[in-house]
Amino acid sequence: MSNTQEVPYGTLDLLILKTLETMGTLHGYAIARRIEQVSGDSLQLSQGSVYPALIRLQQEGWIETEWGISETNRKVKFYALTKAGRKQLLLEVANWEKATALVGRFLKASR
Amino acid sequence: MSPRRAVASVLASMNKRRLDRELEDEIRAHLELAERDAVARGLSREEAHREARLSFGGIEGMKEEHRDHRGFRWIETLLRDFRYGLASLLRSPGFTAVVVGVLALGIGGTVAMFSVVDAVLLKPLPFPEPDRIVRVWEAPRPGVVDSTTVPQFLAWKRLATVFDALAAEQPVQAALNDKSGPTRIPGKAVTAEYFKVFATGAKISRTFTSEDDQPGAAPVIIISHAAWQTYFGSDPGILSRRVRLDGEAYQVIGVLQPGAFDRDETQFWKPLVFVPDQVSSEMHWLTVYGRLQADATLNQARERMQAINAALAETAPMEDRDGTIVIESLKRLLVGANLDRSISVAFGAVFLLLLIACANVANLLFAQGATRRTELAIRAALGAGRGRLVAQLLTESFALCVLGGVAGVATAYLLIRLATPFLSQSLPFTADVSLNLRVLAFAATVVLGVVLLAGAFPALQASFGNLTESLKRSARGSSGADVRVRRTIVIGEVALSLVLVCGAFLLARSLLKLQQLDPGVRIDNVISVSADLPIGAYPTPQKAALFYEALMQRLQSAPGVARAGLSTYLPLEWVSNGEGIQVAGAEQQVHVRFKRVDAGYFRTLDIPVLNGRGITARDREGSPKVVVINQALAKQLADVTGMGSPVGKVVRLSSADYENQPLLLDVQIVGIIRSERTASPGEPDPAVVYVPLAQAPNPHIKLLVRTQEGDAAIMPTIRAAVREIDPNLPLGDIATMQQIRDRTLSGVSRPAWLIGAFAFVAVLLAAIGLYGVVSYSVTQQRQELGIRMALGAKPGDVLSHVLRGALAMVAVGLVFGLVGVFALTRVMTNLLFEVSPLDPLAIAIACVSMTLIGLFAGLLPANRAARLDPIATLRDAG
């Protein structure tokens, strides 16, 4: 759990789900790379930390996996969003927006 | 955690190895891809390798996190221990087999016994809303036990609003003709609401309606599902078939649903139709069942019936006026206090056996734990926590007990299958003994209990001793504390076994007393057969009398037959009651039981005539009506009337005629015979009057034949004799009088055999435990014994030294066991016949046999010790 403080608490799930929604089926490395790229330099992510998150999302039934062949002709595991995953993403996005709005209002009010 | 994820986590914990491998693959692929990208960005191969790992982060840490996220750690540990445990059990198959065998015996016995407890005491009766089913009868008075008169029944039916349904039953027998010849099948004549009382419906067509039991109704029957299968091959067209019972055609109007009635002996039901004479008769012959209204309690029903009884009292005959009505739930009646007690005692006994089995297993685990000291010490030295070691040992015991539990359930299944034919006679027909979910849950609880009892102490013991110390002492070491604990266990085993053995001897003594009980009849070499003459073929009493006469003539001259007799009731068995004798001048009737016998009956059974004469062949139709009475009745008559000897007196006897219609007869008492036993052991002989069969024939008859040779080979002769007179008459209930005697005693003898078997196994287990401990301590003391022998001790000295040790354990065990005997055998008082629960002989025999077993178990290891070569022993130890 070395670099988690770099990723806002509880948001890695959201980032992964969103990535899969935008990009479709991806393998673990591609997911980690995509998150790094989108966030630019503002996020320090250990690429390995996506895997524990992935197994959890898979057990919840939000993503599904399949072994396949990568663009470099290597056997890799692909991840894709399920129907339940799409619903969950909507929910998490809504939650996130609610939370940030609340915190934003709070900060403005106490200024 | 969502339930879905919890399930996934449990599954993941069980698939640890595969998931770990997959994760490895993913990591490798990830690093390769990252390296490739880095090389593409222009880095050298080495730099790319470094960078890929750097941006991936800590691999081992991530793997741990991955495992934590996907599964339950404790499950993985548990599974690992379980696998390890199984593996170590397989390494010592002998040890495993012994432990599993002992557990299978203990758990199997307990589970099988519990399934009986479950079937009889715990399960509700197999009828809808069984609490509403009750039996109604008049409170017992001298001469009236539990039956009801027709007028009473009809009055209750008219007046009692507290019942939804009320029905009377009367057992009947009928001959059914099928392909294999005539068969006797038991049935019941019942009034129309009978199946409403038991809320049992028909699988095919219908049950009785209120038209079926009216006078003049067409002859119909309902058959049980079992009878439909057995006698009619599950014929779907059964309703269009005419079934001949006793030669008369009956229409089958329904087949019952499969269920409880299939376990009853009753195969068919026909409507009980009262004829005018019966409606006014004061004969007590009906058994009445009722279904209470949904909101009525037993007490309400009792109060209302009492009120009805009071209202009826004015018109009731003299001796019925002070009677009260009893209402009792069917369940209470089916499970009498005696059965309840027998089952409880047997369950207690099998539970003791389970405890002994636990003690034995604990003992074996101790021995096993001692040999694993070193292994555990090394693990502890490498950093395994004490809790971890206990958990591992407990898991291993658990693995062992699960094996034992599975074997136990299999044993229980076998036991139930084997015992059901014997059990079903002693249990109510509503009891369905089977391995159901509740029984399996009980088995699981027992296994857990056994794990804690037998596994926990050895596990704690093995891990709490000073492990580093035992590492130093290495394989030789077993501490004194270890031996002390094992001795304590054996002492406990001896104590528990003594309780069981004592109980078994007490029951055996009681059984012996019952066997020696004088039945008042000579029963050796006597065989009995029953027959029921169909009214259709024998419409008049004269025809029946002719049949009996012809049969007796043939039998008495048949080869192999010494004597033959006829009676309406078997010796040693219950005789129907409800008849009365009115002595001229006396106000009240004397209630009597009533048996029709022929001239051969008393002689066949060697029943002596004490006064006057017995029944002779001259007492036939047309000659003066006579009766013979038993001693008990003679005494009662003397008490009531104050007359001296009743012989020669004429009394008025109320009885029933050939078609079970009431009948009053003036008869002369011509003789007194010694009372034959008709009541349960320990109860006083009831008053019985014997009427010559030829003067009052009855279609239901028992044939008794005393053979010259004394075996069942006479049956073909009897069959041939019957066939010559009536080829369509079936014979049933073939049994020797010895069997009938055993049957009447079976309520007492079955628990005795059961507990005897438990005691035998308990003794065996205690002997194994004792042997184990003594032989272990001999091994421990090798060095000491070697030194003693080197210093001049003779083999005999060593032998007695070791045996003294074993006997000391037995002696202490016996002391504790006696305390248990004093406390526990008291619950057996009601099961014992003329034997005190503290019978000194039984206790003495039990103590002596336990001591002998102790000697025997100690002898083998003691003998081995005496043959030690002192030099070799000392050299080994050095």
Q: How many Cβ pairs closer than 8 A exist between chain A and B?
A: 83
pLDDT in tens, B822-862: 887 677 777 777 788 888 888 999 899 889 888 888 888 88
C-beta atoms of B32 and A74 within 8 A:
yes
For residue B125, give both structure tokens.
């009766």
- On whether both B653 and B628 belong to a single domain, the answer is yes
Q: What is the dihedral of CA B557, B558, B561, B563, to 10 degrees?
A: -30
Chain A positions touching B55 (Cβ under 8 A) are 46-47
pLDDT in tens, B453-494: 777 777 776 665 555 555 555 444 455 666 777 788 888 888
Chain B positions touching A59 (Cβ under 8 A) are 4-5, 8-9, 12, 70
- On whether both B423 and B546 belong to a single domain, the answer is no
- On whether both B164 and B197 belong to a single domain, the answer is yes
pLDDT of residue B786: 82
> What domains can be seen in chain A, in order of their start residue?
4-109 (1.10.10.10)
For B348, what's the count of Cα atoms within 13 Å in the CB-facing half-sphere?
Answer: 18
A94-103, B29-38, B189-198, B374-383 — which is least confidently predicted? B374-383
Q: Number of structural domains, chain B?
A: 4
**CB neighbour burial string for B539-561, b if at least 16 within 10 angstroms, e if fewer:** eebeebbebbbebbebbeeeeeb
In 3-state terms, what secondary structure has residue B133?
strand
- On whether both B556 and B697 belong to a single domain, the answer is yes
Q: How would residue B178 be classed by pLDDT, with cut points 50, 70 and 90? A: low
Q: Which of B694, B728, B762 is the last residue of a domain?
A: B728
* pLDDT higher than threshold 80 for residue A81: yes
**B737 within a domain of the structure (yes/no):** no
**B681 within a domain of the structure (yes/no):** yes
CA distance linking residue B566 with residue B366, whole number of Å: 67
Q: How far is A57 from chain B (nearest CA, A)?
A: 9
Q: How far is B437 from chain A (nearest CA, A)?
A: 32
> Which residues of A lie inside 8 Å of B (Cβ-Cβ)?
1-3, 27-29, 32-33, 46-49, 51-53, 55-56, 59-61, 70, 72, 74-77
- On whether both B494 and B618 belong to a single domain, the answer is no
- On whether both B586 and B645 belong to a single domain, the answer is yes
Q: What DSSP element (H or E) covers B223? A: strand B220-223
- Residue B189 has phi, psi (to 5 degrees) of -95, 125
User: Across residues B40-51, what is the average pLDDT?
Assistant: 88
For residue B116, give both structure tokens.
């009986």
- On whether both B718 and B748 belong to a single domain, the answer is no
Q: Write the DSSP assignment of B282-306 as a string of letters.
A: ----BEEEEEE-TT--HHHHHHHHH
Q: How far is B17 from chain A (nearest CA, A)?
A: 15
Q: Tell me, what amino acid is at B776?
A: Y
Chain centre to alpha carbon of residue B730 = 32
Q: Tell me, what amino acid is at B30?
A: H
Give ∠ CA B867-B868-B871 in degrees, rounded to 5. 135
CA distance linking residue B208 with residue B214, whole number of Å: 11
C-beta atoms of A51 and B2 within 8 A:
no
pLDDT of residue B472: 55
pLDDT in tens, A84-101: 999 999 998 998 899 889
* pLDDT higher than threshold 70 for residue B377: yes
C-beta atoms of A60 and B4 within 8 A:
yes
pLDDT of residue B537: 84
CA distance from start to end of chain B? 62
C-beta atoms of A27 and B29 within 8 A:
yes
Q: How far is A51 from chain B (nearest CA, A)?
A: 7
Sorted by sequence, the CB contacts under 8 Å of residue B819 that are 6+ apart come out as: B495
- On whether both B347 and B454 belong to a single domain, the answer is yes
Q: Which of A29, A55, A76 sits opposite B34 (nearest CB)?
A: A29
**B93 within a domain of the structure (yes/no):** no
Q: How would residue B275 be classed by pLDDT, with cut points 50, 70 and 90? A: confident
- On whether both B544 and B692 belong to a single domain, the answer is yes
**B331 within a domain of the structure (yes/no):** no
Whether B252 and B238 have beta carbons less than 8 Å apart is answered as: yes
Chain B positions touching A3 (Cβ under 8 A) are 57
User: Across residues B399-428, what is the average pLDDT?
Assistant: 84
Q: Tell me, what amino acid is at B575?
A: V
- On whether both B380 and B436 belong to a single domain, the answer is yes
Q: Write the DSSP assignment of B548-594 as a string of letters.
A: HHHHHHHHHHSTTEEEEEEESS-TTS-----EEEE-TT-SSPEEEEE
Q: Which residue of B has its CA nearest to A57?
A: B5
Q: Which of B71, B97, B129 is the last residue of a domain?
A: B71
Chain centre to alpha carbon of residue B606 = 36
Sorted by sequence, the CB contacts under 8 Å of residue B600 that are 6+ apart come out as: B552, B556, B563, B564, B565, B566, B704
Angle between helix B386-426 and helix B73-91 axes, rounded to 10 deg:
70
- On whether both B354 and B398 belong to a single domain, the answer is yes
Q: Tell me, what amino acid is at B530?
A: S
Q: What is the dihedral of CA B429, B435, B441, B447, to 10 degrees?
A: 120
User: Smallest Cα–Cα separation from B542: which of B699, B364, B399, B321?
Assistant: B699
Mean pLDDT value across chain B = 82
CA distance from start to end of chain A? 35
For residue B176, give both structure tokens.
């059914």
pLDDT of residue B353: 85
Q: How far is A29 from chain B (nearest CA, A)?
A: 5
**B125 within a domain of the structure (yes/no):** no
Q: Which of B29, B33, B56 sits opposite A46 (nearest CB)?
A: B56
Q: What are the Cα distances from residue B360, in Å, to B101, B298, B454, B770, B855?
A: 11, 49, 8, 9, 18
Q: Which of A33, A51, A59 sits opposite B5 (nearest CB)?
A: A59
Of B198 and B657, which is predicted with more confidence? Answer: B198
CA distance linking residue B118 with residue B110, whole number of Å: 12
For residue B705, give both structure tokens.
């034949």
Q: Write the DSSP assignment of B144-159 as a string of letters.
A: B-S-B-HHHHHHHHHH
**B524 within a domain of the structure (yes/no):** no
Share of chain A above pLDDT 70, in %: 88
Strands (E), B812-861: none
For B194, what's the count of Cα atoms within 13 Å in the CB-facing half-sphere?
Answer: 27
ipTM for the assembly: 0.85
DSSP code of B344? H
**What residues pair up with B65 in beta bridges, in sequence order?**
none
Q: Write the DSSP assignment of B738-778 as a string of letters.
A: HHHHHHHHHHHHHHHHHHHHHHHHHHHHHHHHHHHHHHHHH
Q: How would residue B324 be classed by pLDDT, with cut points 50, 70 and 90? A: confident
Structural domain boundaries, residue B56: 3-71
Q: Which of B30, B52, B71 is the last residue of a domain?
A: B71
pLDDT of residue B410: 94
User: Across residues B706-728, what is the average pLDDT?
Assistant: 83
Q: Which residue of B has its CA nearest to A59?
A: B5
Chain B positions touching A49 (Cβ under 8 A) are 57, 62, 65
Sorted by sequence, the CB contacts under 8 Å of residue B817 that are 6+ apart come out as: B494, B495, B496, B497, B498, B499, B502, B850
CA distance linking residue B66 with residue B278, whole number of Å: 87
Q: Which residue of B has its CA nearest to A33?
A: B34
- On whether both B300 and B358 belong to a single domain, the answer is no
**B246 within a domain of the structure (yes/no):** yes
- Residue B202 has phi, psi (to 5 degrees) of -95, 145
**B113 within a domain of the structure (yes/no):** no
* Helix residue ranges, H only, B436-530: 437-450, 456-464, 467-473, 480-516
